[in-house]
């Protein structure tokens, strides 16, 4: 484990999380959330949790995002906050 | 409302941070979590189940009961989506 | 006293409770339904009477239904005090059943099946209270009585009935849950049991005087059916019910269940000795005296006959509590005896009020001028009843008042004697005008001529009860003996 | 340790049947009813067997997959969990009789989906009461939640919105619980409750332990809708499809309270909770008092039968939480007895509400007029349930209230005693208002009203439940002595 | 400086997990858009997963996939392998989280069908009418 | 060329020939990889859940590149549903079977009574069985989730 790489990714993750909940466009928020998940999965892989990382890559960054997008396409893209 | 939410968040975060004071350091191989149960898994799982992927061994066998319900959870989710979203035929 | 295990107490309680079922089932056949009613009432008297010899010989019966809380079973027990009350209630129920049939048929009331079924449940609860072996069982039947009388009070199902029903339940349920239940729980916590024991159960608990005073006041107000002021307001309100209900339930069963419960608490939970020791008798007598005087004064102002009787009842009920509060054996005997004497007198008065309503359709005293000439039997019975209540010899009321007065002197509280005398005077003041108007005032103009006596079904019971209150002066032996046994004389 | 699998069959029957209901119910809806009733009937019988076995031979621990406890997942079958199993399966069986016609009416074409979720919810609840593993509890909690989300969202109108609120609150609750478990895991390295309980006192780490306790409890409180965290419950339970409400309302909060008891005494121990932190203990009794009083007052403001009942449920949660935190055996046995009684009382009232909804449609107070004439049997059973809620002997509610109040007196928490009495009075007002409305009629209705009872399949369980309330009331002595006293945690 | 760094290294990802959890929690209770609430929920859950995975990490350890024959012959030193238990738990947690997300999204679509918006205040406004 | 242009114009938003062709070619490989992940869960990262998600993702990919109807043509809703049920049934069935054959719940070694492979080998094989079940269930549910969320619940009315 390389702690400074960890820290760097963690900071990125935090900024992604902040962005995901502040962006007004829901589609962008969802995509940013996908990026967040992917960074998270990198972090976990780097901590030795390969299975969790694999799952998060397929679920968090993959299926979740797709489901979010599918739902947003059927509802509305805009968000007031 | 937002102010209240912020206060609630900050309080929760503060309590959680207070709780981390007692935690063992990150990556400490002598932390309780690293010595109590997991050692048994690491040392015995392969011999007891013949599965080299420890995660699979623990997931499928030692904690198979959890995994069964995990499967049921996702099954329920699928059913719930169908039952919520579909309009009934009649 | 030795108790033998027996099913009879349960049978006495259950006969009318289960009897409600055939009454409900014969909804569409009034004759069958009323035969059931009379049959059950008669059966009940027989069962109660069959237990009498054993009780008079110093024995008793006991039956445990279920053990619900450690040391507190739901248990029925027949002792002298319970027998005394059960005898009064079941005999008077027989008369009331007859009277109800006449009254309800004459007025062609709706929903008579519900009426008779609720009545049967109510009398079952009354006997349950009489035969309760402990406070929990008593509370159970007490609540059962409150709830089963609700349909009776609101029988007419109009706006007035709704308001009165609400008031009735608010007072009765509110006080029993708010005061009696916590008092019972504190008692249980202190004593570890709730059994009615001669000499009381709280004496051994070592509770201090203030706690005891709190429990006592909670109990007295908690059993609001006894109508101790300021929790008396439900009784005049409940007078919207049909008259048999008022006469039996609010002249005899319901109100006396309240008094009986208070008496049970004073005799068998606290015990007179403990109350004397911590000087709590005055609490009881003060409350009771105040209620007697205020209620008698209010009764003077009422024009509605049933409401006047209701306030009279409130006053009379406190006599019984007063007697118990004297904490002398004679006073307590008088208090207990007054349950029976007042019951016979008051039920006569209510029967008469109902008969007047059935025959003449009148509710207000001011309209009743000259009625006595047309309904002589009814008015004579009314006269007898009022004399008994006032406490004139040769009527039963005299005996209990005599005992009360003796008790007051014996306990050295002469002020109580004064209260008794003043209230007797007030009783006379609010009863005599009614009789006077009936016999000696000319009828108002434009009065229809067709008024005559009420139907026989009404007339016979009221004559019998009137004669009973006369007879009780000469032969009070049975009740006197039971009452003396109950207080341990 | 034992090799008896009986309790596993109790759980497996609804779980497996759920799959068949989904597969076969798609083909023809006539398969649904026999499958559901058969599975639940089997579960009820088997759970009775489990209970009698536990009472006979003492409690036992069961290891799923035959791995010794801290390694594998341990199930604890003691008198308390066996009692809960009986309660869950019998309540579910009774509720499903009534749910079948309701679902056919409200969710035509979706019966198989509804009952699949319904059965899995029951299996989840059964799993919850047996588990002795902190993380397994989380998974099962999520199963029950996710099925409940789905069931509630199947309702009409505002139901999805209520369900979404429930999802957010429920997820916060579950996440908090998981956070607490995580803290415990980091501290002790174990997930087995008994194992954790053994390790915890040896650790110095008080901050993390307190945090874990705090988060686990808050998580469970959100799930059980303890007063300040109750916001999601009234809408969710009152807008849910009637069939779902029948199952969810009697069981969910009660099982969560059971979980709180389990977590409190199996993980943290009475000593840590009550002796070392007396301030927390009395604070909790005050919170429960506030819950009882506020929820009772809120119930007064409702104009719909079902909504009123939901607020009463919240008040009852206050009863039980307070009873548990009184820290004496009387209060605790009162709380456990009240779990049983309250489940049955709520079931009785909701069954009656379902029967009324089946005939009348709306449950607003204005529509209830003259119901005693129209549906006398339903209303009679409703009255019994109402009396039990008020606490009138000999119905069951009186006796649990008796123990709770007695516990309050014993512990010297008079505020709790007053709150219980106050809430009884409020309940009396609430129910007699309804009874009065249903007893009196509209002007001119006297002649028109005809008897029109709900179908027999809905009336049967209703009558049975009402009778059970009285039987349990009269039998509460043996129940407390024979089962609940045995079910109290060690040290009480 | 050295000490300070040591403290940071020892606890930093517990701190950052708290930060992430706070972000998610705030979005769940403070944001008025329902989709945002859901995103917040997912962030909350990943934060918890991060905590668990951190708890299982060991410095200089291998991933928990061993060589069967080697282990059966020579055994394995526990300190050299990452703790697999938190991973197992978190797999379950991920599944739960995606399930809840799925159900919530379906309910969102129902809400949108009903009210035509996903803003909490607008929905409440419509309900008030 | 003109034909191609016409076809491009007729295409709905987001559909492109290149992507469609690529997806058509990729899907079998994705599915193969998914199966590999399920089966090889004993020896490498992955297992039933991840493999199931990948299998499901292949159908989702089809649905994204073409439309939902195409993916339904590959696997009808009824089949999908049955697979999901069967998947969960395998897991719970194995669990109950263990109990029925005299062991404890989920004690795979009890299945030794059916085919004697040895208790430890049965543990390994039992894990494999349930992983397959999980894979089937997860694939089916993922597909169904996407169908329903992607169509707004209009599955029955021809998408």
Does residue F158 carry a pLDDT above 50?
no
Does residue C444 carry a pLDDT above 80?
no
Does residue D334 carry a pLDDT above 50?
yes
Q: What is the tens place of the pLDDT at every residue in C328-344?
A: 888 888 888 888 888 88
The conformation of residue B1, written as its DSSP 8-state character, comes to -
Instruction: Kindly report the number of other CB atoms within 10 A of residue C284's CB atom.
Output: 24
Handedness of CA D132, D135, D139, D144 (dihedral sign): positive
The whole-angstrom separation of Cα C301 and Cα C292 is 15
Q: What is the tens place of the pLDDT at every residue in D360-387?
A: 888 888 888 888 888 888 999 999 999 9
Nearest to C306 by CA among C236, C225, C376, C388: C236
Q: What is the tens place of the pLDDT at every residue in D173-214?
A: 999 999 999 999 988 888 999 889 888 888 766 888 889 999
Nearest to B83 by CA among D142, D112, E113: D112
pLDDT at B90: 45
Buried b (16+ CB within 10 A) or exposed e, C212-249: bbebbbbbbbbbbbbbbbebbbbbbbbbbbbbbbbbbb
Mean pLDDT of B27-49: 82
- Which of D139-148, D195-204, E6-15, F94-103 is modeled with the greatest confidence? D139-148
The whole-angstrom separation of Cα C320 and Cα F98 is 75
Alpha helices in C57-180 (DSSP H): 80-107, 112-130, 135-153, 159-175
* Whole-Å CA distances, A56 to B27, C385, E25, E50, F145: 21, 92, 20, 11, 18
Q: How far is D421 from chain C (nearest CA, A)?
A: 6
Q: How far is E81 from chain D (nearest CA, A)?
A: 16
Residue B27 forms contact with A (CB below 8 Å):
yes
- Neighbors of chain E with 3 or more C-beta pairs under 8 Å: A, B, D, F
Mean pLDDT of D303-318: 92
Domain boundaries, chain A: 3-74
Q: What is the tens place of the pLDDT at every residue in C260-290?
A: 998 888 888 888 888 888 888 888 888 889 9
pLDDT at F2: 60
The whole-angstrom separation of Cα C334 and Cα C396 is 12
Contact call for D142 and B40, based on CB within 8 A: no
Does residue A61 carry a pLDDT above 90?
no
Residue A1 forms contact with B (CB below 8 Å):
yes
Instruction: Kindly report the number of other CB atoms within 10 A of residue D457's CB atom.
Output: 12
The whole-angstrom separation of Cα C189 and Cα C198 is 20
pLDDT at D276: 84
Residues 6+ apart with CB under 8 A from C277: none
Residues B45 and B6 in one domain: no
Q: How far is E123 from chain B (nearest CA, A)?
A: 16
Which neighbouring-strand residues pair with C78? C61
Residues B13 and B57 in one domain: no
Task: Decide the pairing of beta strands D60-64 and D73-77.
Answer: antiparallel
Size of interface B-E (CB pairs under 8 A): 154
Contact call for E82 and A76, based on CB within 8 A: no
Poorest-pLDDT segment among A29-38, C245-254, C269-278, D429-438: C245-254
Q: What is the tens place of the pLDDT at every residue in C197-237?
A: 888 888 887 778 888 889 988 998 989 888 888 888 888 88
Number of domains in chain B: 2
Q: How far is F78 from chain D (nearest CA, A)?
A: 10
The whole-angstrom separation of Cα D298 and Cα D285 is 20
Q: How far is F2 from chain B (nearest CA, A)?
A: 42
Contact call for D150 and B33, based on CB within 8 A: no
Task: Decide the pairing of beta strands C61-69 and C4-5.
Answer: parallel
pLDDT at D476: 87
Size of interface B-F (CB pairs under 8 A): 99
Nearest to C323 by CA among C405, C209, C226, C438: C405
Does residue C148 carry a pLDDT above 50?
yes
Contact call for E106 and F149, based on CB within 8 A: yes
Nearest-by-CA chain D residue for F82: D23
The conformation of residue E81, written as its DSSP 8-state character, comes to B
The whole-angstrom separation of Cα B54 and Cα E63 is 9
Q: Look at residue C229 and give its three-state secondary structure.
A: coil
Residue A62 forms contact with F (CB below 8 Å):
yes
Residues C172, C295 contacting (CB under 8 angstroms): no
Contact residues, B window 9-68, toward E, CB-based 8 Å cutoff:
9-10, 12-13, 16-17, 20, 23, 25-29, 31, 33-35, 37-39, 41-43, 45-47, 50, 52-55, 57-59, 63, 66-67
Contact call for E100 and D168, based on CB within 8 A: no
Over chain A, what is the mean pLDDT?
87
The whole-angstrom separation of Cα F48 and Cα D169 is 31
Does residue C130 carry a pLDDT above 60?
yes
Contact call for B61 and F95, based on CB within 8 A: no
Mean pLDDT of F62-78: 82
Pick from D394, D424, D475: CB nearest C140 = D394
The whole-angstrom separation of Cα B3 and Cα C239 is 59
Domain that residue E36 falls in: 2-128
Size of interface A-E (CB pairs under 8 A): 144
Does residue E81 carry a pLDDT above 50?
yes
Nearest-by-CA chain D residue for C164: D436
Residues D316, D349 contacting (CB under 8 angstroms): no
Residue E33 forms contact with A (CB below 8 Å):
yes
* Whole-Å CA distances, D156 to B89, D107, D232, D355, F145: 15, 10, 17, 18, 22
Domain boundaries, chain C: 280-489
More confident residue, D437 or C444: D437
Residue A16 forms contact with E (CB below 8 Å):
no
Mean pLDDT of D429-450: 75
Q: What is the tens place of the pLDDT at every residue in D451-486?
A: 788 888 888 999 999 999 999 988 888 888 888 888
- Counting every residue written for chain A, the total comes to 81
The whole-angstrom separation of Cα D120 and Cα B73 is 9
Q: What ipTM does this complex have?
A: 0.90
pLDDT at E129: 67
Residues 6+ apart with CB under 8 A from C485: C55, C56, C58, C80
Confidence band, pLDDT 50/70/90 cuts, at residue D1: very low
Does residue D313 carry a pLDDT above 90?
yes
Nearest to D262 by CA among D489, D73, D8: D489
**Chain E partners within 8 Å of D73 (Cβ):** none
**Chain B partners within 8 Å of D190 (Cβ):** 36-37
Contact residues, E window 65-124, toward D, CB-based 8 Å cutoff:
85-86, 89, 92-93, 96, 99-100, 103-104, 106-108, 110-111, 114-115, 123
The whole-angstrom separation of Cα C116 and Cα D481 is 40
Does residue B1 carry a pLDDT above 80?
no
**Chain F partners within 8 Å of D3 (Cβ):** 104
pLDDT at C482: 84
pLDDT at D252: 92
pLDDT at D317: 93
Residue A5 forms contact with E (CB below 8 Å):
no
Residues 6+ apart with CB under 8 A from D409: C185, C186, C189, D417
Mean pLDDT of E86-93: 91
Over chain E, what is the mean pLDDT?
86
Q: Which two tokens stand for residue D328?
A: 């004496």
Handedness of CA D312, D315, D321, D327 (dihedral sign): negative
Over chain D, what is the mean pLDDT?
89
φ and ψ at residue D60, rounded to 5 degrees: -140, 160
Residues C370, C488 contacting (CB under 8 angstroms): no
Residues D168, D150 contacting (CB under 8 angstroms): no
DSSP of E8-54, one letter per residue? Answer: HHHHHHHHHHHHHHHHHHHHHHH--BHHHHHHHHHHHHHHHHHHHHH
Residues 6+ apart with CB under 8 A from E115: D161, E122, E123, E126
Residues 6+ apart with CB under 8 A from C87: C48, C49, C52, C478, C479, C482
Residues B87 and B43 in one domain: yes
Any domain includes B32: no
Poorest-pLDDT segment among D144-148, D240-244, D331-335, E78-82: E78-82
Number of domains in chain D: 1
- Provide the CATH number for the domain around residue E57: 1.10.287.3510
The whole-angstrom separation of Cα D389 and Cα D411 is 24
Contact call for F49 and E95, based on CB within 8 A: yes
Q: Which two tokens stand for residue B37?
A: 């149960």
Does residue D447 carry a pLDDT above 50?
yes
Confidence band, pLDDT 50/70/90 cuts, at residue C434: confident
Instruction: Kindly report the number of other CB atoms within 10 A of residue F12's CB atom.
Output: 7
**Chain A partners within 8 Å of B27 (Cβ):** 1
The whole-angstrom separation of Cα D353 and Cα D125 is 23
pLDDT at F155: 65
Contact call for F141 and B75, based on CB within 8 A: yes
Mean pLDDT of C8-30: 84
Residue B78 forms contact with A (CB below 8 Å):
no
pLDDT at F3: 60
Mean pLDDT of C104-111: 76
The whole-angstrom separation of Cα C375 and Cα C372 is 5
More confident residue, E78 or E53: E53
Does residue D349 carry a pLDDT above 70?
yes
Nearest to E84 by CA among B38, D72, D191, B35: B38
Q: How far is B18 from chain F (nearest CA, A)?
A: 35
Residues B59, B67 contacting (CB under 8 angstroms): yes
The whole-angstrom separation of Cα E97 and Cα D171 is 9
Q: How many CA atoms are closer than 13 Å to the CA of E10, on its beta-carbon side?
A: 14
Q: How far is B89 from chain E (nearest CA, A)?
A: 16
Does residue C445 carry a pLDDT above 70?
no
Does residue F73 carry a pLDDT above 90?
no
Mean pLDDT of F7-20: 66
**Chain D partners within 8 Å of C186 (Cβ):** 409
F and E touching (3 or more beta-carbon pairs closer than 8 Å): yes
* Whole-Å CA distances, D398 to D345, D346, D403, D469: 11, 14, 9, 10
Q: How far is D407 from chain F (nearest CA, A)?
A: 40
Q: What is the tens place of the pLDDT at every residue in C78-102?
A: 888 888 888 888 888 888 888 888 7
Does residue D67 carry a pLDDT above 80?
yes
Residues B51 and B84 in one domain: yes
Mean pLDDT of C49-67: 86
Contact residues, E window 88-127, toward B, CB-based 8 Å cutoff:
88-89, 91-92, 95-96, 98-100, 102-103, 105-107, 109-110
Domain that residue D483 falls in: 277-492
Q: Look at residue C108 and give its three-state secondary structure.
A: coil
**Chain E partners within 8 Å of F49 (Cβ):** 91, 95
């Amino acid at each position: 484990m390389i702690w400074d790489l960890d820290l760097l990714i963690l900071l990125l993750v935090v900024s992604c999380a902040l962005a995901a909940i502040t962006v007004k466009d829901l589609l962008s928020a969802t995509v940013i959330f996908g990026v967040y998940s992917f960074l998270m999965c990198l972090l976990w892989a780097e901590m030795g949790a390969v299975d969790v990382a694999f799952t998060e890559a397929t679920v968090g960054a993959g299926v979740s995002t797709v489901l979010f997008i599918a739902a947003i396409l059927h509802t509305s893209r805009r968000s007031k906050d | 409302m937002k102010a209240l939410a912020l206060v609630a968040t900050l309080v929760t975060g503060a309590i959680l941070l207070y709780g981390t004071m007692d935690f063992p350091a990150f990556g400490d191989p002598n932390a309780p979590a690293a010595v109590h149960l997991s050692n048994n898994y690491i040392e015995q799982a392969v011999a007891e189940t013949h599965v080299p992927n420890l995660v699979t061994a623990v997931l499928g066998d030692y904690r198979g009961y959890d995994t069964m319900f995990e499967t049921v959870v996702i099954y329920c989710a699928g059913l719930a989506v169908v039952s919520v979203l579909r309009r009934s035929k009649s | 006293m030795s108790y033998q295990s027996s099913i009879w107490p349960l049978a006495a309680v259950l006969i009318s409770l289960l009897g409600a079922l055939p009454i409900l089932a014969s909804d569409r056949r009034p004759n069958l339904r009323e035969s059931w009613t009379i049959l059950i009432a008669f059966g009940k008297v027989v069962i109660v009477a069959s237990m009498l010899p054993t009780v008079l010989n110093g024995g008793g019966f006991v039956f445990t239904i279920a053990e619900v809380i450690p040391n507190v079973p739901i248990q029925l027990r027949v002792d002298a005090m319970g027998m005394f009350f059960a005898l009064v209630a079941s005999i008077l129920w027989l008369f009331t059943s007859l009277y109800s049939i006449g009254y309800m048929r004459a007025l062609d009331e709706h929903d008579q099946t519900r009426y008779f079924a609720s009545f049967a449940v109510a009398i079952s609860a009354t006997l349950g209270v009489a035969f309760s072996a402990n406070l929990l069982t008593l509370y159970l039947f007490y609540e059962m009585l409150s709830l089963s009388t609700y349909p009776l009070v609101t029988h007419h199902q109009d706006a007035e009935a709704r308001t009165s029903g609400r008031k009735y339940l608010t007072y009765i349920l509110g006080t029993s849950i708010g005061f009696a239940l916590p008092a019972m729980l504190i008692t249980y916590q202190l004593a570890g049991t709730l059994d009615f024991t001669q000499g009381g159960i709280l004496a051994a608990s070592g509770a201090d005087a203030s706690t005891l005073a709190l429990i006592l006041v909670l109990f007295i107000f908690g059993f609001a059916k006894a109508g101790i002021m300021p929790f008396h307001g439900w009784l005049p309100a409940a007078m919207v019910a049909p008259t048999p209900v008022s006469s039996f339930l609010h002249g005899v069963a319901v109100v006396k269940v309240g008094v009986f419960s208070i008496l049970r608490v004073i005799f068998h939970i606290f015990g007179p000795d403990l109350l004397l020791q911590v000087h709590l008798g005055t609490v009881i007598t003060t409350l009771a005296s105040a209620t007697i005087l205020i209620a008698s004064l209010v009764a003077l102002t009422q024009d509605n006959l049933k409401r006047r009787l209701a306030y009279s009842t409130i006053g009379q009920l406190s006599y019984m509590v007063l007697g118990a509060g004297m904490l002398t054996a004679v006073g307590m005997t008088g208090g207990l005896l007054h349950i029976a004497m007042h019951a016979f007198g008051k039920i006569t008065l209510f029967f008469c009020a109902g008969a007047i309503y059935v025959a003449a359709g009148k509710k207000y005293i001011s309209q009743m001028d000259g009625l006595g000439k047309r309904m002589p039997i009814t008015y004579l019975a009314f006269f007898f009843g009022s004399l008994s209540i006032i406490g004139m010899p040769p009527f039963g009321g005299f005996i209990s008042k005599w005992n009360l007065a003796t008790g007051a002197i014996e306990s050295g509280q002469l002020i109580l004697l004064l209260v008794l005398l003043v209230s007797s005077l007030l009783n006379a003041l609010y009863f005599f005008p009614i009789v006077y108007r009936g016999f000696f005032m000319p009828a108002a103009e434009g009065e229809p001529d067709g008024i005559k006596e009420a139907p026989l079904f009404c007339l016979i019971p009221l004559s019998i009860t009137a004669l009973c209150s006369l007879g009780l002066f000469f032969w009070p032996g049975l009740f006197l003996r039971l009452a003396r046994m109950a207080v341990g004389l | 340790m034992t090799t008896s699998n009986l309790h596993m069959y109790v759980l497996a029957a609804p779980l497996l049947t759920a799959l068949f209901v989904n597969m076969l119910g798609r083909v023809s809806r006539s398969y649904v009813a026999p499958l559901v009733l058969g599975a639940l009937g089997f579960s009820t019988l088997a759970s009775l067997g489990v209970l009698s076995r536990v009472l006979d031979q003492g409690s036992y621990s069961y290891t799923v997959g035959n791995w010794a406890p801290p390694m594998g997942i341990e199930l604890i079958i003691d008198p308390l969990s066996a009692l809960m199993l009986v309660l869950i399966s019998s309540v579910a069986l009774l509720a499903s009789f009534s749910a079948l016609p309701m679902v056919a009416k409200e969710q035509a074409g979706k019966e198989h989906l509804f009952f699949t979720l319904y059965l899995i919810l029951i299996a989840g609840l059964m799993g919850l009461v047996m588990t002795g593993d902190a993380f397994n509890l989380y998974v099962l909690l999520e199963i029950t939640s996710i099925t409940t989300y789905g069931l509630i969202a199947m309702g009409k109108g505002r139901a999805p919105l209520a369900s979404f609120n429930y999802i957010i609150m429920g997820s916060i609750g579950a996440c908090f619980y998981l956070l607490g478990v995580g803290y415990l895991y980091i501290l002790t390295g174990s997930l087995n409750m008994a194992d954790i309980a053994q390790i915890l006192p040896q650790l110095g780490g008080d901050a993390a332990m307190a945090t874990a306790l705090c988060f686990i409890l808050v998580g469970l409180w959100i799930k059980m809708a303890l007063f300040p965290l109750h916001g999601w419950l009234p809408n969710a339970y009152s807008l849910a499809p009637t069939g779902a409400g029948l199952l969810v309302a009697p069981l969910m909060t009660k099982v969560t309270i059971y979980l709180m008891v389990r977590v409190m005494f199996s993980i943290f121990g009475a000593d840590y909770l009550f002796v070392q932190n007396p301030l927390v203990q009395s604070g909790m009794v005050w919170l429960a008092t506030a819950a009882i009083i506020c929820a009772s007052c809120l119930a007064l403001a409702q104009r719909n039968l079902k909504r009123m009942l939901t607020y009463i449920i919240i008040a009852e949660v206050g009863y039980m939480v307070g009873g548990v935190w009184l820290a004496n055996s009387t209060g605790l046995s009162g709380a456990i007895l009240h779990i049983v009684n309250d489940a049955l009382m709520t079931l009785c009232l909701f069954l009656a509400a379902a029967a009324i909804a089946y005939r009348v449609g709306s449950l607003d107070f204005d529509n209830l007029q003259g119901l005693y004439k129209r549906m006398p049997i339903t209303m009679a059973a409703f009255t019994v349930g109402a009396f039990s809620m008020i606490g009138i002997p000999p119905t069951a509610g009186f006796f649990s209230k008796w123990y709770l109040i007695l516990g309050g007196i014993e512990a010297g928490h008079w505020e709790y005693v007053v709150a219980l009495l106050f809430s009884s009075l409020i309940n009396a007002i609430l129910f007699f208002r309804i009874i009065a409305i249903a007893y009196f009629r509209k002007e001119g209705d006297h002649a028109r009203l005809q008897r029109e009872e709900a179908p027999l399949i809905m009336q049967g369980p209703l009558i049975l439940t009402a009778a059970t309330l009285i039987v349990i009331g009269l039998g509460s002595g043996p129940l407390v002595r024979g089962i609940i006293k045995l079910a109290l945690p060690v040290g009480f | 400086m050295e000490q300070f760094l040591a403290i940071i290294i020892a606890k930093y990802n517990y701190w950052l997990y708290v930060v992430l959890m706070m972000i998610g929690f705030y979005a769940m209770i403070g944001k008025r858009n329902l989709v945002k609430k859901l995103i917040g929920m997912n962030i909350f859950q990943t934060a918890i997963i991060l905590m668990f995975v951190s708890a299982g990490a060991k410095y200089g350890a291998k991933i928990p996939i061993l060589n069967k024959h080697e282990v059966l012959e020579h055994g394995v030193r526990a300190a050299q392998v990452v703790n697999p238990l938190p991973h197992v738990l978190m797999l379950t947690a991920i599944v739960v989280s995606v399930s809840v997300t799925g159900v919530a999204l379906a309910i969102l679509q129902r809400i949108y069908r009903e009210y035509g918006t996903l803003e909490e205040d607008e929905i409440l406004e419509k309900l008030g009418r | 060329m003109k034909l191609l242009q016409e076809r491009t114009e007729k295409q709905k938003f987001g559909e492109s020939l290149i992507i469609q062709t690529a997806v058509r070619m990729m899907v079998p490989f994705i599915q193969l990889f998914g199966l590999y992940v399920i089966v090889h869960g004993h020896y490498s990262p992955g297992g039933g859940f991840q493999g199931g998600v990948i299998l499901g993702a292949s159908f989702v990919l089809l649905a994204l590149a073409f439309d939902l109807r195409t993916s339904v043509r590959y696997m009808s809703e009824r089949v999908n549903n049955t697979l999901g049920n069967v998947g969960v049934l395998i897991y719970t069935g194995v669990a109950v079977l263990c109990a029925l054959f005299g062991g404890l719940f989920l004690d795979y070694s009890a299945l030794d009574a059916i085919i004697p492979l040895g208790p430890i080998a049965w543990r390994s094989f039992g894990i494999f069985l349930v992983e397959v079940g999980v894979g089937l269930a997860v694939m089916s549910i993922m597909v169904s989730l996407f169908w329903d969320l992607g169509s707004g619940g209009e599955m029955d009315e021809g998408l």
